């Protein structure tokens, strides 16, 4: 069984990794496409490392579009928004 301290450390690492990936993705999106502030904020809301990595993989494809990159994130954002307003 892992300690509370170890669990907190791992969660902190995961959050930091997601934030770093999101910042890298935002930088690439801003350089390659024109996105509005709402779209950029949606990227900042994503904390799922796998989806952020998928979006970063997509953005380097020669035929990538802003839509194809953001689509990699959309599912997670929708789930987050539903969970945030759910009265569970």
Q: How confident is the model at residue 75 (pLDDT cuts 50, 70, 90)?
A: low
Q: What is the pTM of this model?
A: 0.74
pLDDT at 31: 92
Burial of 78 (0-12, 13-18, 19+ CB in 10 A): exposed
Is the CB of residue 37 less than 8 Å from the CB of residue 29? no
| Mean pLDDT value of segment 43-54 | 90
DSSP SS3 for 36 = coil
- pLDDT tens digits, 15-25: 899 999 999 99
């Amino acid at each position: 069984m892992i300690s509370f301290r170890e669990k907190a450390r791992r969660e902190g690492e995961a959050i930091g990794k997601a934030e770093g990936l999101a910042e890298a993705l935002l930088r690439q999106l801003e350089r390659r496409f024109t996105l509005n502030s709402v779209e950029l904020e949606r990227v900042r809301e994503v904390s799922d490392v796998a989806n952020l990595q998928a979006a970063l993989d997509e953005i380097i494809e020669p035929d990538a579009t802003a839509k194809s990159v953001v689509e990699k994130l959309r599912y997670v954002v929708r789930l987050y928004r539903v969970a945030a307003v759910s009265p569970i």
